[in-house]
Chains A and B, each alone.
Chain A
Amino acid sequence: EAQVTQNPRYLITVTGKKLTVTCSQNMNHEYMSWYRQDPGLGLRQIYYSMNVEVTDKGDVPEGYKVSRKEKRNFPLILESPSPNQTSLYFCASINSGRGFNNEQFFGPGTRLTVL
């Protein structure tokens, strides 16, 4: 089954404790992306990756890092989490072969709480 998986699904942590949210896709997509969803703001892009070893900042990259060592994996790293990073996070990948649709396939989400 084609899918995007994220782990963990729920995480409660404390300020300053480094954490990583993993994301993996089995569709051989080149493009992957991370979003955060906050009330009244919709989904905002954090970082994206056009291919292995190619990453770039989205709209809200501050406080986050990413890496893309393999095509299937795109982890999101919070080196020193702060309470304003409490949010719902989504990983997504795109089948670039779909032309103008640019349909993004989303993972199930990770709800992060930073105390």
Chain B
Amino acid sequence: DQQVKQNSPSLSVQEGRISILNCDYTNSMFDYFLWYKKYPAEGPTFLISISSIKDKNEDGRFTVFLNKSAKHLSLHIVPSQPGDSAVYFCAAGSGSARQLTFGSGTQLTVLP
């Protein structure tokens, strides 16, 4: 039973428009969440994170929103650029533990 779910395996967006990637979780003990980006033939790289005490965190073109009551988080990329084309993983963890539970990933394609 997957505790972190990314229900959209792929997403295509036009350059300059907004990309919205979604993630749902079931474990109410999760209290921090991260997004990773992965290019082919490379390891995932950290993008942005959010603690459960916040509902929004912003870093440049990337914003993560957390809705605890719905157990849902989303990553907004605006404006989207062709270099953003990659697989995006959401991940969740709890307490001081260093273990993360990952979603299955969403392939984002930004069309020029």
- Would you give the shortest CB distance from A13 to chain B, in whole angstroms? 20
Q: What chain B residues lie within 8 Å of A74 (beta carbons)?
A: none
| Residue of B whose beta carbon sits closest to that of A41 | B104
Q: Kindly identify which residue among B9, B91, B99, B104 contacts A48, using a CB–CB cutoff of 8 Å.
A: B99
Is there contact, CB below 8 Å, between B89 and A50? no
Taking CB atoms and an 8 Å cut-off, the chain A residues in 57-115 that contact chain B are 58, 90, 92, 94, 96, 100-109
Q: In the complex the two chains form, what is the Cα distance from A42 to B107 in whole Å?
A: 12
A108 CA to B45 CA, complexed, in Å? 10
Interface size on B, residues (CB 8 A): 25
Cross-chain pair count, CB within 8 angstroms: 65
Interface assignment of B65: CB less than 8 Å from any CB of chain A: no
A100 to chain B, nearest CB (A): 5
Known contacts A4-B43, A102-B32, A102-B34; decide if A42 and B98 are in contact (CB<8 Å).
no
Interface centre among A42, A48, A92, A101 (most CB of B within 10 A): A42
Decide if A22 is an interface residue (CB 8 Å cutoff).
no
Contact, CB under 8 Å: B49 / A45: no
B1-56 interface with A by 8 A CB criterion: 2, 4, 6, 9, 32, 34, 36, 41-46, 49, 51
A92: chain B residues within 8 A (beta carbon): 43
Query: B43 contacts A58, CB within 8 Å?
Result: no
Q: Give Cα distance in the complex from A92 to B51, angstroms.
A: 21
A-B contact pairs, 12 of them (CB 8 A): A35-B102, A42-B103, A42-B104, A43-B102, A45-B100, A58-B99, A92-B43, A100-B51, A104-B46, A106-B36, A106-B43, A108-B42
Q: Interface residues, chain A, CB within 8 Å of chain B?
A: 4, 31, 33, 35, 40-45, 48, 50, 58, 90, 92, 94, 96, 100-109
A103-B49, A104-B98, A108-B41 given. 6 additional CB < 8 A pairs?
A: A42-B4, A42-B89, A42-B102, A100-B32, A100-B51, A101-B46
